[in-house]
């Protein structure tokens, strides 16, 4: 109980170390989300509108990669970025860039797969209606993507939820270096190990609050998408 | 003036023939009704005439003073088809009605005036800011017609516009068709399974047999 009290006073007092950790968490997760969306959304559009060989395999791969074990991603990124790895010359291991790379890989299948599901779920009559009103093929695609917008937003929010809560991969490639690669989840692991429960709890409360906010946003977005 | 000549149109789905050599000429402005039992190919004929899908054989040829026109996007933009399911967007009534104008790069004051006029005509002006997916099926059908009218089509196809609406909406839709007929700028081709409705509205009644 006293640990909880101290945790709350840490939050209320706006501890500088705590603020730094939260800021880095958000920076890493939002950057990863941006990259995953920039790559995943066009991929979803491509597989949503273009019938090509191997499309089914890509969809199945994206679906199964949604449950990719973070430690495996951490291991692969570690091997790629380690000094003797193929990308070792970039000296990215144990930097926030390495963490962003790992989280982007985890978020990409979620954004792509769920956005594709949203696009595929749009009633075919929407595309037909657009065509009857004089839409070119690309204008028709835009009309369909617009109809899928709430599903796409939900996909991005779901991916954000995953990367914010992730610990395994970023601990492996980031190294949890104080003031440099320490984020909320990795700090909670370390502070708990050290028996420093005040900071761990304070971070846990903030992480829970953020996760709650993300879920409220997701719910609101899904609600707006359902009129009929 | 655009003229439509359908000749020898054949279409099969999965080996089952839906249309076997359907021909008709639409030489004049006015209302043409297409009646026949369910499954006789009325909708397919309309979809082929509206260039939404190609026939297996035969053609839907559009011509004007300059001869037969190629099936291009510019020709497609001179005709439109209101689908039985309409296909409204998850957006405000106004935005739905303005869609065809946006595709043509018409925005601002002109778009506003044309959309307001069309919504007025179909009795939906009051609901211009409401989300289109909250409309009743009769209102949805009327919005589909308004969305088609704002682009001022030369040929307007209506596929079963009153099949899934109540009597009041049927009467309203019939009034809209009558007023378009009086304006006399459009070739209107509609399918219906109601023979009485066909005789109330049509300048020319076409009958499609079951087989």
The span from the CA of A98 to the CA of A92, in Å, is: 6
Burial call B109-139: b when 16+ CB within 10 Å, e when fewer: eebeebbbebbebbbbbebbeebbeebeebb
Same domain, B158 and B70: yes
Same domain, B14 and B67: yes
What topology is assigned to A2-225 in CATH?
MetI-like fold (1.10.3720)
- Residue B146: predicted pLDDT: 97
Tell me how long chain B is: 211
Q: What tens digit of pLDDT does each residue of B99-140 get?
A: 999 999 999 999 999 999 999 999 999 999 999 999 999 999
* A123 has a chain B CB within 8 A of its CB: yes
CB contact under 8 A, B133 and A228: yes
- Does one domain contain both B147 and B64? no
The 10s digit of each residue's pLDDT in B39-59 is 889 999 999 999 999 999 999
Rounded-to-integer distance, Cα B157 and Cα B144, Å: 11
Residue B129 lies in a domain: yes
- B→A contacts (Cβ < 8 Å), by residue, are 50, 52, 73, 76-77, 80-83, 85-91, 99-100, 103-104, 131, 133-134, 144, 147-148, 151
CB pairs under 8 A between A and B: 61
> What does the pLDDT read at residue A12?
82
* Structural domain includes residue B83: no
ipTM, interface predicted TM-score of the complex: 0.94
Q: What is the pLDDT of residues B51-96, one digit of tens each?
A: 999 999 999 999 998 889 999 999 999 999 999 999 999 999 999 9
Q: Is residue B143 part of a domain?
A: yes
Searching chain A, which residue's CA lies closest to the CA of residue B92?
A227
CB contact under 8 A, B148 and A132: yes
Residue B6, domain CATH:
3.40.50.300
Q: Is B42 exposed, middle or buried (0-12, 13-18, 19+ CB in 10 A)?
A: buried
In a shared domain, residues B136 and B195: no
Query: What residues in chain A have per-residue pLDDT under 50?
Result: 228
Q: Say yes or no: B142 and B163 in one domain.
A: no
The closest CB to that of A129, out of B87, B104, B131, belongs to B87
Widest distance between CA atoms in chain A: 68
Domain boundaries, chain A: 2-225
Cβ distance A132 to B50 less than 8 Å, yes or no, reads: yes
Closest partner CB to B89 (pick from A134, A147, A150): A147
Token pair recorded at residue B103: 């595709």
CB atoms within 10 A of CB B208: 17
Domains of chain B: total: 2
Q: Indicate if the pLDDT at residue B1 is higher than 60.
A: yes
Is B61 strand, coil or helix? strand
d(CA A29, CA A51): 33
What range does the domain containing B186 cover? Answer: 1-78+153-211
- Burial (CB count <10 Å: 0-12, 13-18, 19+), residue B194: middle
B210 and B180 share a domain? yes
Question: How far apart are the CA of A147 and the nearest CA of chain B, in angstroms?
Answer: 6
């Amino acid at each position: 109980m006293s640990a909880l009290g101290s945790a709350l006073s840490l939050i209320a007092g706006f501890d500088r170390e705590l603020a730094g950790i939260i800021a880095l968490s958000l920076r890493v997760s939002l950057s990863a989300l941006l990259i995953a969306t920039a790559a995943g959304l066009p991929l979803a559009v491509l597989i949503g509108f273009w019938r090509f060989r191997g499309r089914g395999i890509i969809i199945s791969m994206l679906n199964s990669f949604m449950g990719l074990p973070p430690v495996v991603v951490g291991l692969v990124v570690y091997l790629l970025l380690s000094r003797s790895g193929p990308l070792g010359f970039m000296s990215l291991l144990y930097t926030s860039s390495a963490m962003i790379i790992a989280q982007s890989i985890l978020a990409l299948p979620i954004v792509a797969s769920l956005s594709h599901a949203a696009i595929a779920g749009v009633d075919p009559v929407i595309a037909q209606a657009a065509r009857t009103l004089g839409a070119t093929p690309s204008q028709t695609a835009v009309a369909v993507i617009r109809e899928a917008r709430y599903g796409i937003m939900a996909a991005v929010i779901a991916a954000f939820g995953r990367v914010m809560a992730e610990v395994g991969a970023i601990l492996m490639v980031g190294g949890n270096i104080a003031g440099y690669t320490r984020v909320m989840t990795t700090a909670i692991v370390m502070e708990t190990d050290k028996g420093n429960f005040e900071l761990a709890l304070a971070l846990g409360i903030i992480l829970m609050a953020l996760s709650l906010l993300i879920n409220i946003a997701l719910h609101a977005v899904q609600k707006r998408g359902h009129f009929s | 003036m655009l003229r439509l000549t359908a000749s020898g149109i054949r279409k099969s789905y999965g080996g089952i023939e839906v249309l076997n050599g359907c021909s008709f000429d639409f030489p004049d402005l006015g209302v043409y009704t297409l009646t026949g039992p369910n499954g006789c190919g009325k909708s397919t004929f309309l979809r082929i005439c509206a260039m939404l899908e190609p026939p297996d054989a035969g053609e839907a040829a559009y011509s004007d003073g300059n001869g037969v026109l190629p099936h291009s996007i510019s020709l497609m933009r001179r005709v439109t088809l209101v689908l039985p399911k309409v296909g409204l967007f998850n957006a405000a009534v106004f935005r739905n009605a303005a869609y065809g104008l946006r595709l043509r790069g018409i925005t601002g004051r002109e778009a506003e005036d044309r959309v307001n006029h069309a919504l007025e005509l179909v009795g939906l002006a009051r609901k211009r800011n409401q989300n289109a997916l909250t409309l009743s099926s009769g209102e949805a059908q009327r919005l589909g017609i308004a969305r088609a009218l704002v682009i001022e089509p030369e040929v307007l196809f209506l596929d079963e516009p009153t099949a899934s609406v109540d009597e009041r909406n049927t009467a309203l839709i019939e009034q809209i068709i009558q007023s378009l007929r009086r304006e006399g700028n459009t070739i209107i081709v509609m399918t219906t399974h109601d023979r009485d409705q066909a005789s109330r509205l049509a300048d020319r009644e076409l009958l499609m047999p079951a087989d």
